[in-house]
Each structure stands twice: as structure tokens, then as C-alpha cells.
Homo-oligomer: A and B are copies of this chain.
Amino acid sequence: MSDILTAGNLSFAPLYKRVKMRIMQRLTVGEWKPGEAIPSESRLTEEFQVSIGTIRKAIDELSAEKILVREQGRGTFVATHTEDRFLYYFFRIVDRNGVKIFPQSHMLSFRRMRADANQAERLQITRGARVIRINNLLKLGGKPVEIDEIILPAERFPGLTEEMLLTRSSTIYHLYQAQFGINVIRAAEKLHAVTADDETARILHLQKGSPVLGIARVAYTYNNLPVELRNSYVNTVDHDYFNDLGKSA
């Protein structure tokens, strides 16, 4: 990703890269929304006045980046945060047998506050800007496994209420998308082992002073724009964080 495109200059980029960027632009402004089909390849040829091979190469890259999803015989769709996609890309906790199950989320608190220096820097907003802090407990198979502290820039989530989070039926990333048009497509995580503080230990049913896996995440939407901060602590007594290195998928 770190090439001429992220640098902003695409005047001299290959045609298919420019087509790709024009498609991304239209996704960014919400012309084609998550779940919807984009125009067919042959229609895009007319629109962009390039050959179908060039269109295909642009879409190839976008679908490799999980921004678009192709379905033979049906069309090409803007990626949505279905449970599958969430489990596959953004939730890495597995049980001792390597099996991943869908977590149940329980909200512990919801509060509006101001960004401190660190949060502001990571979210690329000004210090003191309004943010929303959400604390969740995730259970797997009924057992408390992870606690999350989520920080959202309030400006990007206008009208977000506690009620909306309590009544949501699917993942929070799906809510960002459906309610605020924010499509999380990437996240960077830093993991470390720490001693659980007393409250964390209590909530995760661990003894005082137990080690937990800490995860600091920044989630991004199109154009590497940060939209969510998340600090998590995971009880890894019966679960692991799974990671596959060197895979393309």
C-alpha cells in the first residue's frame, strides 16, 4: 500500500490503478454502500472508457483487499461486516482446540469524554476533542474472556447512543457501517503480556495478579483514516490469540 497511491499522486500511475482509485473514491463518498452491488464490469468499461481487462485488474486488487467481494453470476458487492467476515479478519481469539466461536458482547459502561494526548494522536484528532468511551465484556461459550475499552471520535459517530449499542443484534463494526457509513477495513494491533489489575481480574474470573494478554488496536477505514481505538485484555487460560503469518488470504 505504501506506494505512489498513498502518496496521493496518481497522475502517472497505471490506468488500472487510477480506475481502482476512482472506484475507492466513490466508495468513500458513499455512492455505493456496503452490501450493494457496484455496476457490472461491462458497464464500468463504458463508464471509464477502458477495456474489461483493466477493470478486472482494478477489481482484482480491491477484492484482494477485501473492499469488494465478487460473486460469480450475481455481481460485485461492497464488503459488509457479516459475522463471518468479522470472525475471519477482526476477531482472533480461539479456544484450546483452535476453534473460533462468535463472542457475546455485554456493555459495562458508556461515557462521553475528551481525548487525551495519546488518544488524539492515534485517532488523528485534536487533543480535547470529544470522544466516546465504551467498555464491553466479551463472553465465549458463556465464560468471560475479554474486556474491551473502545474510544471513538464523537464527530464521526453523531447521535450514537447507549441504547443503540445495547439493542444491536450484530457486531459493532456492522453498526458503524449501517448507522454511520463507516466501513472498517483494516486494523493494526500491538500485543503484550501484563499483570491484570484487580478489577480486570475480577471481571475475567482470574486470580489477582494473573497475567493477561493486552491488545492495543487502531482500526481504519478507507484511506488509512483511523476511526476506532481499542484496548483489550484477554484471559488466555483457556483461549489463544491466533495468527497466520505469510498468508495472502
Point out residues on A near B: beta carbons under 8 Å. Answer: 1, 61, 64-66, 89-90, 92, 94, 98, 185-195, 209-214, 216, 234, 236, 239-249
Across-interface contacts of A246 in B (CB, < 8 A): 66, 89-90, 185-187
Inter-chain contact B1/A249, CB cutoff 8 Å = yes
Q: What is the total number of copies of this protein in its complex? A: 2
Q: Which residue on B lies nearest to A211, using beta carbons?
A: B211
Closest B residue to A98 by CB, please name it: B190
Q: Are A190 and B245 in contact (CB under 8 A)?
A: no
Task: Report chain B residues within 8 Å CB of A244.
Answer: 186-189
B194 close to A211 (CB less than 8 A): yes
List of 9 A-B pairs having minimum Cβ-Cβ separation, nearest first:
A211-B211, A192-B236, A193-B193, A190-B240, A193-B211, A191-B241, A193-B213, A187-B245, A64-B248
Could you list some 15 contacts between A and B, CB below 8 A? A1-B247, A89-B245, A98-B190, A186-B244, A186-B245, A188-B243, A189-B243, A189-B245, A191-B191, A193-B194, A193-B214, A193-B236, A194-B236, A195-B210, A243-B243
Complex Cα distance, B244 from A214, in Å, reads 16
Contacts of A190 in B (CB 8 A): 94, 98, 240-243
Given the interface pairs A66-B246, A246-B89, A246-B90, the reply to whether A240 lies near B191 with Cβ below 8 Å is yes
Pair A241/B192 contact, Cβ less than 8 Å: yes
**Which of A1, A90, A214, A241 has the most C-beta atoms of chain B within 10 angstroms of its own C-beta?**
A241
- Identity of the chain B residue whose Cβ is nearest the Cβ of A194 in the assembled complex: B211
Contacts of A212 in B (CB 8 A): 193, 211
Residues in B with CB closer than 8 Å to A192 are 213, 236, 239-241
- Check A242 against B189 for contact (C-beta < 8 Å): yes
The residues of B that contact A61 with a CB separation of less than 8 Å are 248
| Chain B residue nearest in CB terms to A63 | B248
Complex Cα spacing A90 to B245, Å: 7
Query: Given A246-B90, A248-B64, A249-B1 in contact, is the A211-B195 Cβ separation under 8 Å?
Result: yes
CA distance A1 to B190 in the complex (A): 27
**How distant is the Cα of A61 from the Cα of B64 in the complex, in angstroms?**
11
Q: How far is the CA of A213 from the CA of B240 in the complex (A)?
A: 11
* CB nearest neighbor in B for A235: B193
Cβ distance A57 to chain B, nearest Cβ, rounded Å: 10
Chain B residues in 8 Å Cβ range of A65: 247-248
With known contacts A193-B193, A211-B195, A188–B245 Cβ distance under 8 A? yes
